[in-house]
Amino acid sequence: MKNIVIIIALLFFVSCKNDSHSAKKNIKPADTSNVVTDTIEGDFSGGTLLRIDDFPSNFIPPRKVDIWLPSNYSKDKKYAVLYMHDGQMLFDARITWNKQEWMVDEVATRLMNDSIVKDFIVVAPFNINELRHSEYFPQKPFEALTDRQKDSLVQVAKDNNMRFDSVTSDNYLGFLVEELKPYVDKNYSVLTDRENTYVAGSSMGGLISMYAISEYPKVFGGAACLSTHWPGGNPNDSDLLANSFFEYMEDNAPSPKNHRLYFDYGTEALDKFYPKYASTVDRIYKDKGYDATNFKNLKFEGADHSELAWQKRLHIPFEFLLKK
């Protein structure tokens, strides 16, 4: 039942002709000087979980943002920053829809305590369920489709009595880069350069992480894209959307000289649709000059599409991106 719900939810995201890129240029970042943080009670591996209930934004609707600080957090040192999507699924199974979590705090704490990775904090904006697909679907690949292709996708949504929204991922990234990151840089003891700024997510969150590092290669030095949803919509449909992503990646891959890219996929549930795309992803980035030192695309046999699956292998992308 869960997989059916996921597939149906993934179907519809689209709108017709939306020029958010020009709109974004006219958006003034929101005032974040009055942001209030609350400390969440619970066991977060000795660290501290802070929550902002309504982070202001002029790019997208306000939302909750979690900020996890490791137990050794101190204003006397500087930390790398990992931005992770779907913030409500990362730390606390008490608030997740399926009572699963990524256990980000546990994994990060162990790796830092063992001196495997550099010290870092995690900044995690929540998704808004009804807007998630619209905000995480890479916008330029969608806009590269013909009007006929866009209209066909919209019609499919209507035929299934499903809501569809404009593709707003450019504005979502504007929120991350022009509102959330400046707030974090100003209010926390962090390193602000590309080499210490990362982005990560799963499924549609994998797509938007790929898109983020491609659109903002001067901001993000690494991206982790777990169980990336290459079909873009219903996996049983054509590869039209996947091909649009691949064409975008061929034209916009960040330089291998100063970026790291991590992809992976399982073989069960929704992930069973992903292995066929692996060779294309490998080819694109290898043709751009990536090798084993800065690119991975790993297969996890038997892994499904769930927080429990991502939790089990989360240490691998963390080590790859944030290794000392």
Dihedral angle sign, alpha carbons of residues 110, 111, 115, 118: negative
User: What contacts 164, CB < 8 A, 6 or more positions away?
Assistant: 12, 13, 14, 15, 154, 157, 158
Nearest to 5 by CA among 269, 309, 268: 269
Residue 204, classed as helix, strand or coil, is: helix
Query: Count of domains in the chain?
Result: 1
**13 CB-side CA count, 13 A:** 25
Tell me what pLDDT residue 155 has.
67
Q: Which two tokens stand for residue 172?
A: 């979502």
Domain extent at residue 187:
2-322
Task: Render each residue's pLDDT in the chain as its tens digit; 324 residues.
Answer: 334 333 334 443 333 333 334 446 689 999 999 999 999 998 888 899 999 999 999 999 999 999 999 999 999 999 999 999 999 999 987 888 888 889 999 999 999 999 999 999 999 999 999 899 899 999 999 999 988 888 776 666 666 555 555 799 999 999 999 999 999 999 999 999 999 999 999 999 999 999 999 999 999 999 999 999 999 988 877 899 999 999 999 999 999 999 999 999 999 999 999 999 999 999 999 999 999 999 999 999 999 999 999 999 999 999 999 999
Q: What span, in angstroms and rounded, lies between the C-alpha atoms of 198 and 84?
A: 8
pTM for this entry:
0.91
Which residue type occupies 198? Y
Helices 278-287/240-252 angle, 10° precision? 20
So what's the pLDDT on residue 19? Answer: 37
pLDDT at 192: 98
Strand partners, 285: none
Asked if residue 29 lies in contact with residue 44, where contact means CB atoms within 8 angstroms, the answer is no
* Cα dihedral sign, 115-220-78-42: negative
CATH number of residue 157's parent domain: 3.40.50.1820
Pairing of strands 38-39, 48-55: antiparallel
What is 246-293 written as a DSSP string? Answer: HHHHHHHPPPTTS-EEEEEE-SSGGGGGSGGGHHHHHHHHHHTT--TT
